[in-house]
Amino acid sequence: MGVWECRFRRRGTPDPGRGVHRDVLNVGHDGPVIVHLIDGTYELFRQHFGRPGHINAAGHEVGAVRAVLRGMLSLLEEGATHVGVATDHVVESFRNELYTGYKTGEGMDPEILAQFGPLEDGLRALGCVTFAMVEYEADDALAAAAALAAADPRVDKVLICTPDKDLAQCVTAGRVLQFDRRQQKIFDVEDVVEKFGVLPESIPDWLGLVGDTADGFPGLPGWGAKSAAAVLARYVHLEQIPHAPGQWDITVRGGAKLARTLIDQFEEALLFRTLATLALDVPTVGNVDELRWAGPTTDLAAVAKTLDAPDLMTRAKALEAARAS
């Protein structure tokens, strides 16, 4: 079982109640804008490994795509108005040129890789703005779109819908929040601090030291979640950590050795931090108005047929009618 598979198989349980989300959406449709940004790659993996598949008439596996589209309709039915979905059209990105160990599509289930194209077509047919990433990653598009939306005074909150720890770096107090739909947990700044021990701005530095096996970089030897959190809670960024052992004004177990490792491998730490830093210059949309859901396109009928899912049509049409009235 590969890293990816193992990461998602643990999370097969169904969504619990939606209370937390309802509370956020209670501001009403004419009130300030709430933007939902969905990690389509995560959703596809979650559905692929968390539920039975479905082979369509043409002999293609379509179960995960169908489930993700149904999940998007649920989100819209819950009251989401402005929605964008980011996907990894290809797994490889600019980060593979920076570091040879960075994750590739190698070893990933071909059945899931084959569903990205149909997923993107389905999302667009559903009327959801979709960022299919080639040069960048879905994470970058989520971060870039979140920054764009947060800069708009009409926007009250941006919910980045993914449990991925990379996105914790985007959280800003009361405004850009990370939302784990499956756990029904919303992460504000204090929740990021509680979970990681550092502020959102230190998350790339923290990942640089600790590493991220799922993304394919190791971090520095000896540095773990706790030691990195203790040091970065005090010094915030790698450059601000005193280089000589004995200069730290905090006590960390094995501190002298960790300081030595940091001096010896500082360039690597900076490279890993770069890999963990989300790019904000990804083209997404011109403004948040483009994210407003305005009903499905005429392609949805064909998509629903391919997916053996006539419910996609009836639900999308009913929702479109409800929004128009």
Chain residues binding Mn ion by CB under 5 A are: 139, 164, 166
Largest Cα separation within the chain, whole Å, is 68
**Smallest gap, in angstroms, from Cβ of residue 278 to Mn ion?**
9
> Could you give the C-alpha distances from 88 to 69, 102, 134, 148, 308, in angstroms and in order?
16, 15, 7, 20, 25
CB-wise, 143 or 229, nearer to Mn ion?
143
Q: How far is the CB of 192 from Mn ion (least distance, A)?
A: 15
Instruction: Please state the closest distance from residue 312 (CB atom) to Mn ion, in A.
Output: 28
CA–CA gap between residue 104 and residue 96 (Å, rounded): 8
**In whole angstroms, how far apart are CA 44 and each of 55, 112, 228?**
16, 8, 32
Q: Looking at beta carbons only, is 189 or 203 nearer to Mn ion?
A: 203
Locate tokens 């002999």: which residue? 59
Smallest distance, Mn ion to C-beta of residue 164, A: 4
Comparison of 61 and 164: residue with beta carbon closer to Mn ion: 164
Strands 185-187, 155-161: pairing kind: unpaired
Smallest gap, in angstroms, from Cβ of residue 100 to Mn ion?
19
CB of 143 to Mn ion, least distance (A): 10
Judged by CB, which is closer to Mn ion: 62, or 161? Answer: 161
Residue 168 contacts residue 39 (beta carbons within 8 Å):
no
Does residue 313 sit in helix, strand or coil? helix
Query: Which is closer to Mn ion, CB of 169 or CB of 261?
Result: 169
Q: What is the rounded CA–CA span in Å between residue 86 and residue 161?
A: 10
**In angstroms, rounded to a whole number, what is the distance separating the alpha carbons of residues 303 and 70?**
12
Task: Give the nearest distance from C-beta 174 to Mn ion in angstroms.
Answer: 24
Q: Which residue is nearest to Mn ion (CB)?
A: 166
Closest to 131 (Cα-Cα) out of 113, 147, 119, 149: 119
- Which amino acid makes up residue 171? V
Residue 139 or 205 having the CB closest to Mn ion? 139
**Secondary structure element (H or E) that encloses residue 133, with its range:** strand 129-133
CB of 8 closer than 8 Å to CB of 46 = yes
DSSP β-ladder status, 176-180 and 155-161: parallel
Q: Considering the complex, state which of residue 120 and residue 166 has its C-beta at the smaller distance from Mn ion.
A: 166
> With respect to Mn ion, which residue has the nearer C-beta, 127 or 211?
211
* Distances in whole angstroms, Cα of residue 148 to Cα of each of 120, 177, 281: 22, 14, 10
Q: From the CB of 167, what's the least distance to Mn ion, in Å? A: 7
